[in-house]
Amino acid sequence: MSSVLTDNLPGRAGTSWLDKERTIAGPGYSRWLVPPSALAIHLCIGMAYGFSVFWLPLSKALPGAPACPKGDGLWGGIAAGLGEFTATSCNWNIATLGWMFTLFFVILGSSAALWGGWLEHVGPRRAGIVAAACWCGGMLISAFGIYVHQYWLMIVGSGVIGGVGLGLGYISPVSTLIKWFPDRRGMATGMAIMGFGGGAMIGSPLAVMLMKAYATPTDPGVAATFVTMAVIYSVFMMGGALGYRIPPTGWKPAGWTPKVQATNTMITTRHVHVSKVWGIPQFWLVWTVLTMNVSAGIGVIGMASPMLQEVFGGELINVPKKFTELDKTQLGAIAAVAGGFTALLSLFNIGGRFAWASLSDKISRKMTYIIFFLLGGVLYWSIPASAAAGNLFLFIGAVCIILSMYGGGFSTVPAYLADLFGTQNVGAIHGRLLTAWSTAGILGPVIVNYMREYQLGLGLPRNQVYNQTMYILVGLLVIGLICNLLIRPVADKWFMTEAELEEEKRLAHERSLAETVVGSGSGGTTSSATVVLAWLAVGLPLAWGVYMTLLTVSKLFH
């Protein structure tokens, strides 16, 4: 691992097959090989969204053992929770296991911010391999933790080490894709980040199938499932990392000419160094824009299933009863319907990542976010009314469109950053911006969960406890809208001078177009068959995931 991190120090001649110089594409290389490489990594790390399929089996990992005590009061609860980290004779609580989800995205944002600059200098191949080692290695450590029933090993393995893999894997293709697709920045990043949203569609049903195959009367099969998935993911992630190529400096698509931009345009042709972004107002405005969009969306994701069940109750199965009046069999039936609803939301989340980001190439990034906040505000505000009217169609439609804009916010923001700050350090800047995701991962669920418990404490019926939450989320969107409207072109003082840019290119081991043509650029002329095979390698698993998701969605309409 140390050689991977240090072999490409500034000024050192490239000697390793991991060096960035070895990934510069030669003449005739097809840029359409880069998106499937990015998808191969994102579809694997996207399983972070699907880890909840493990919680119920893990909560019964020790047959016949009691659940770990929860403790009384705040401090008692904290002490009991810490005790679960090393407990060996009691079953973990689902609430404790669920903290893994929060940890994923806190570590993702932190690691992306810390090592984004390193990634720009060493290139996507090395970063992708480190991401594969962390994500898959973390799963193996977690498997051992499950085997010896030590939750702290799961936290260290998948939570911390795997979280670092999430961060590096998530941002590894951003800068590369934007440079390969200067004519379609939004579409390019949308294709890759769509994979992160689709990872759970493949991983969740695969995990369920594996656990069923490995399960015994005394073992739910989770540890063996982790090992198997780690092996599968390592193959795909290594293949994706090795497939990365970067364009030489000065490359542009054949027949494409950049539009002449006005001096006050929102799309710059200059470049900001990552070390300066903390002090630039536009960075913090975009940071707040993403935080508000994600906080609102992740709040809906977290409560989508219980909200549907508690609001519509027996109506979901044509039984004229409220949620609290249903028996155990009826509750199981509406839970299955809610599972179909959750699956439907995942499809809109993924589709929105590609559709909205592609649309942003046409209408601008700023206008896309204006739509997110205005349309989103109307839809959030409408949910209590459609729930009160018992209009299931309008309720589902509103939440589905909201989730499409949640995904679209993630995929549009890298191109927004490239427009404002240039492409030289956009991967590193994107890494720092992802601290907004870490913040939203805490803010959104806290608001939703606190308000739900508060409303229940006031004695409100379960079908009304989400109303105030929706109005609070509208307030978050208003803050995001104001910040987005305040974004202006970055002032000249923040951009690198020509000398600073040349030094940054030297540190990043870039090679000019002329040097690549006469030099040793890798990945020569690409055949059509190679492109087709690369897309099939990621397209077939994704198609299977969509098919399995549609089977679950069908329960919503029965």
DSSP of 255-281: T--PPPPPTT-SS-SS-B-GGGGGG-H
Q: What is the pLDDT of residue 8?
A: 38
Tell me, what amino acid is at 309?
Q
Instruction: Please report, for residues 68, 73, 83, 124, 150, the alpha-carbon distance to residue 76 in angstroms, rounded to integers and kept in the order given.
Output: 13, 5, 10, 46, 21
* Average confidence (pLDDT) over 82-89: 82
State whether 51 and 181 are in the same domain: yes
Residue finishing a domain among 465, 495, 525: 495
pLDDT at 449 over 60: yes
Residue finishing a domain among 495, 523, 544: 495
State whether 204 and 329 are in the same domain: no
Residue finishing a domain among 444, 472, 495: 495
State whether 164 and 239 are in the same domain: yes
Inside any domain, residue 55: yes
Inside any domain, residue 265: no
pLDDT at 213 over 90: yes
CA angle 6, 171, 442 (to 5 degrees): 115
State whether 307 and 451 are in the same domain: yes
Assigned token pair, 481: 């809208």
Cα Rg of the chain (Å, integer) = 24
Whichever domain contains 454, its CATH number is: 1.20.1250.20
**Per-residue confidence band for 78, with pLDDT thresholds at 50, 70 and 90:** low
CA–CA dist 235, 207 (Å, integer): 17
Per DSSP, the three-state class of 133 is: helix
Q: Contacts for 225-230 with beta carbons within 8 Å, 24 or more apart?
A: 225/54, 226/139, 226/140, 226/142, 226/143, 226/146, 227/139, 227/140, 227/143, 229/47, 229/139, 229/203, 230/136, 230/137, 230/139, 230/140, 230/143
State whether 299 and 202 are in the same domain: no
**Per-residue confidence band for 446, with pLDDT thresholds at 50, 70 and 90:** confident
State whether 385 and 362 are in the same domain: yes
Comparing CA positions, the residue from 290, 202, 213, 208 lying closest to residue 483 is: 290
Q: What is the pLDDT of residue 38?
A: 95
Q: What is the pLDDT of residue 526?
A: 80
pLDDT higher at 509 or 463: 509
Beta strands in 267-374 (DSSP E): none
Domain range for 301? 277-495
Inside any domain, residue 201: yes
Comparing CA positions, the residue from 498, 455, 448 lying closest to residue 296 is: 448
Inside any domain, residue 104: yes
Inside any domain, residue 409: yes
Across the chain, mean pLDDT equals 87
Count of structural domains within the chain = 2
Q: What is the pLDDT of residue 4?
A: 39
The pLDDT tens digits of the residues spanning 363-399 come to 999 999 999 999 999 999 999 899 888 888 999 999 9
pLDDT higher at 5 or 466: 466
State whether 459 and 516 are in the same domain: no
Inside any domain, residue 461: yes
State whether 337 and 458 are in the same domain: yes
Comparing CA positions, the residue from 264, 266, 274 lying closest to residue 494 is: 274
pLDDT at 441 over 90: no
State whether 200 and 343 are in the same domain: no
Q: What is the pLDDT of residue 7?
A: 39
* Average confidence (pLDDT) over 259-280: 81
Q: What is the pLDDT of residue 6?
A: 38
**Per-residue confidence band for 423, with pLDDT thresholds at 50, 70 and 90:** very high
Q: pTM for the full model?
A: 0.88
* Average confidence (pLDDT) over 489-505: 93
Q: What is the pLDDT of residue 79?
A: 62
The length of the chain, given as a count of residues: 558
CB atoms < 10 A from the CB of 528, how many?
9
The pLDDT tens digits of the residues spanning 149-188 come to 999 999 999 999 999 999 999 999 988 999 999 999 999 9
State whether 433 and 351 are in the same domain: yes
Q: Where is average pLDDT lowest: 321-335, 377-391, 407-421?
A: 321-335
State whether 467 and 384 are in the same domain: yes
CA–CA dist 208, 219 (Å, integer): 14
Inside any domain, residue 136: yes
State whether 445 and 392 are in the same domain: yes
Q: What is the pLDDT of residue 72?
A: 58
Inside any domain, residue 391: yes
pLDDT higher at 403 or 464: 403
